[in-house]
Structure 1
Amino acid sequence: MNSSLIRRACAAAVVLATTMAPAVAAQSDDTAVRSDTAARSAAGAQARLLGEKIVPRKLSFRNTTVGGLSGIDRNPCTGEYVLISDDRSVLQPARFYTAAIKVDGAGVHSVDFTGTHPFLQPDGSVYPPASAGDGKVVDPEEVRVDPRSCRYWWAQEGDRPNSASSPVIQPSIQFANRSGAYRGELPLPANYRVSMEDRGPRRNKAIEAITFGDTDRVLTSAVEGPLLQDGPEPDLERGALIRVTQQSRKGSVLGQFAYPLEKIFTAPDPSSPWPPDTGVPSILAFPEDPSRYLVLERTWVAGAGYKIRVYDATTRGATQVRNMDSLAGQKVVPMRKKLVADFHDLGLSTVDNTEGMTWGPTLPGGERTLLLVSDDNFADDGVTQVVALGIRG
């Protein structure tokens, strides 16, 4: 996320844990498969570190600067990975990369970039930088490969301006072919729209997370932080509720739920002018369970650095909130979640601004691989880090 470009600090301490609150897991008696799925969901996922690989800082690739990698997904058609850069066309036009990542039970062996393309506007032109002043600013944050067509769906946060004289840029989820050409846009829920009347997503807290689920029929998205009408952001005393939305491929809202974001883990350095920054930059569906997701929470605190946690979360038993104008003061049963991994306890070389995650190949013993990537913000002290976890359950 570019907002933290000048707010860097040392990496935060984080912990891997398995003692978590129970999830709602309504078992089905229909088939043994459904019963097994529910049982695994109730037990929760467990993670172990397979390995990591650091990409050279400000790597030059085909006349672009590799960095700002805030989303990753595996292409089932090619076995390669697609990674989205959150460069707002400042260094080069807003773009994505493809890469061959060799990962197995022994670790991450190599990350080799194989291609890059800019995302194109409907008229076929690249996105201009904000300095162009034409109201076409784009903030790419997440990319998913359509399991049916292997085209790309990508989310961008838009912009809630700091002043009334600047244009509002609405967030969007767009479709592109594998060369970046525009192919359409998904209609978003009304409460995802930026309104200058103190409603909708906060600045830099709109859509950063999308995932396909329910046998690829459903596109689930999450806003990074609480909507303005849903209450304040997390602080040292309390967390906050963000919205997770399930939509059909044509945009019909199938469900919307509240996800409980953790409170800030420690007090910031009092000499820093920068407040803590926390949110959900990525969400990933479990292929066999339409109600179950991995949710990535990323927090930065001045003087303490980053805290990165992955949760196993379910919509089972959660309140439908799509018709609730505001969550503030409402009695809401949020999604239940269990901690899967807290990065500092994994033995990594560093803990940085991790923002993207995807399923990788399944290992011979049935263990899934989970690949995560960090956004270096194009900063001199930032890191582009690819981490692989083994996931059971």
Structure 2
Amino acid sequence: MSSSLTRRTCALTLLLTAVLSPAVSAAQPGDPGEGSGRAVQARLLGERTVPHKLAFQNTTVGGLSGIDRNPCTGEYVFISDDRSYLQPARFYTARLDVDADGVHAVDFTGTHPFFQPDGSVYPAPTAGDGKAVDPEEIRVDPRSCDYWWGQEGDRPKTAGPPVIQPSIQYASPAGDHLGQLKLPANYEITTEERGPRRNQAIEALTFGSKGKVVTSAVEGPLLQDGPEPDTKNGALVRVTQQNRAGKVLGQFAYPLEKIFAENDPDSPWGPDTGVPSLLAFPDQPHRYLVLERTWVAGAGYKIRLFDATTRGATDVQAMESLAEQSVTPMRKRLVADFDTLGLSAVDNTEGMTWGPGLPSGERLLILVSDDNFAQEAITQIVALGIR
């Protein structure tokens, strides 16, 4: 979830700096893997920080909440969650020089706005016409190398402003609108009692089964599925598998962790937690890396990476409310707690993608943090080795 909130104060360089660490975070017992019996391990290879509000091709680089690798070009694509306040809603392409020795360079190569079906760019929400978008996730279609991108719409705080529905759209590499995926009915913002909460709709999107399956997740529990997590209880969020035509193949309940610390009682802001990204394992269609991101006033960020599976989980697509029925959720195990990796800072990490394989037999995992365009936050590119 994106926010204009300034959430952490620290002195950070605005120049690109690399940090290397041998720290390892191993998974815990209870592997949900596809019968492999092997724990997934994560090792920090390095990190690099992009200068704050970097000017590039008449745009402001920031708010990078999603990343994917383009197999057709070898470049990476980032989505900005700028809702057209600074410049039109857009994405960036970049070359990353990253290997087992760290992240050596981040070089932006291009940027394009996302275009509406009529060829116009998306307006800022202040236009009040209901056409604004809140971009959060981007994936490269493994078949065509077009871009699929998710945006979580808007549930207004008060009556008057129009509801903006979440969506998953397809665009050309130049940003031209190509189509839209039909979403499950329970992803729709409807009444005050049903659908996604405000700023807790679609943030996570991934391709699996060689592009045949599109999996998405809402960031937090639907209104009808129960309360948000607190320090005593977690919550269930819905993960949906669809084919490329939009048919729901299955929907499952992912168990979101409880809040890790008490919120500062003097803060006007409550805790903020959810699933901002998930990533299918290349050869295991029921298995995912799931990113959980939590912010607590007075305690900062907690970023955790889990290995999760839908195998054995209840299909909940026909269930009106997860709070009223007993379900078997997805199984998961901890892969990495970012507090243990040796990073220079743990910030608002929201996007991740697989990179190439490494000579060690590990697979690169690249993650990016969303700085919300705030001076005290950072755009941090992190490289992990995943075994």
Deviation at 1:164, TM superposition (A): 2.0
TM-score, normalised with respect to structure 1: 0.93
Who is 1:18 aligned against? 26
Who is 2:17 aligned against? none
Q: Which residues in structure 2 correspond to 1:326-365 (within 5 Å)?
A: 326-365=321-360
Equivalent pair of 2:27/2:335 in contact (CA under 8 Å): no
Counterpart pick for 2:35 among 34, 38, 48: 38
Counterpart pick for 2:370 among 348, 351, 375: 375
Query: Given the superposition, is the C-alpha separation of residues 385 and 224 from structure 1 closer, same or farther in structure 2, using an over 3 Å criterion?
Result: same
Q: Which residues in structure 2 correspond to 1:176-195 (within 5 Å)?
A: 176-195=171-190
Query: Given the superposition, is the C-alpha separation of residues 240 and 16 from structure 1 closer, same or farther in structure 2, using an over 3 Å criterion?
Result: farther
Cα RMSD after superposing both structures: 1.3
Aligned to 1:43, the other structure's residue is in SS state coil
Equivalent pair of 2:80/2:90 in contact (CA under 8 Å): yes
Deviation at 1:150, TM superposition (A): 0.2
Aligned to 1:215, the other structure's residue is in SS state helix
TM-score, normalised with respect to structure 2: 0.95
Residue-by-residue CA offset, 1:322-378 (whole Å, 9 max, x unaligned) = 110100032111000010111111111111000000001110122100000000000
Aligned to 2:210, the other structure's residue is in SS state coil
Q: Does 2:23 correspond to 1:2?
A: no
Counterpart Cα distance in 2 of 1:230 and 1:45: 30
Aligned to 1:191, the other structure's residue is in SS state helix
Deviation at 1:197, TM superposition (A): 3.8
Q: Which residues in structure 2 correspond to 1:217-256 (within 5 Å)?
A: 217-256=212-251
Q: What fraction of aligned residue pairs are identical, expressed as a percent?
A: 71
Counterpart Cα distance in 1 of 2:26 and 2:50: 30
Query: Given the superposition, is the C-alpha separation of residues 305 and 131 from structure 1 closer, same or farther in structure 2, using an over 3 Å criterion?
Result: same
Equivalent pair of 2:26/2:41 in contact (CA under 8 Å): yes
Who is 1:30 aligned against? none
Aligned to 1:371, the other structure's residue is in SS state strand
Q: Which runs of 5+ in 2 are unaligned?
A: 11-22
Matched residue count: 375
Equivalent pair of 2:240/2:251 in contact (CA under 8 Å): yes
Deviation at 1:7, TM superposition (A): 4.1
Deviation at 1:10, TM superposition (A): 5.1
Aligned to 1:326, the other structure's residue is in SS state coil
Residue-by-residue CA offset, 1:279-301 (whole Å, 9 max, x unaligned) = 00000000000000000000000
Equivalent pair of 1:144/1:211 in contact (CA under 8 Å): yes
Deviation at 1:44, TM superposition (A): 2.8
Counterpart pick for 1:366 among 345, 361, 364: 361
Query: Given the superposition, is the C-alpha separation of residues 71 and 19 from structure 1 closer, same or farther in structure 2, using an over 3 Å criterion?
Result: closer
Who is 1:33 aligned against? none
Counterpart Cα distance in 2 of 1:171 and 1:160: 10
Who is 2:125 aligned against? 130
Aligned to 1:208, the other structure's residue is in SS state strand
Equivalent pair of 2:24/2:44 in contact (CA under 8 Å): no
Aligned to 1:290, the other structure's residue is in SS state strand
Deviation at 1:24, TM superposition (A): 4.6
Q: Which runs of 5+ in 1 are unaligned?
A: 26-36
Q: Which residues in structure 2 correspond to 1:177-326 (within 5 Å)?
A: 177-326=172-321
Equivalent pair of 1:218/1:249 in contact (CA under 8 Å): yes
Q: Which residues in structure 2 correspond to 1:101-180 (within 5 Å)?
A: 101-180=96-175
Aligned to 2:252, the other structure's residue is in SS state strand
Residue-by-residue CA offset, 1:225-271 (whole Å, 9 max, x unaligned) = 00000000000000000000000000000000000000000001111
Who is 1:83 aligned against? 78
Counterpart Cα distance in 1 of 2:31 and 2:359: 29
Counterpart Cα distance in 2 of 1:301 and 1:128: 32
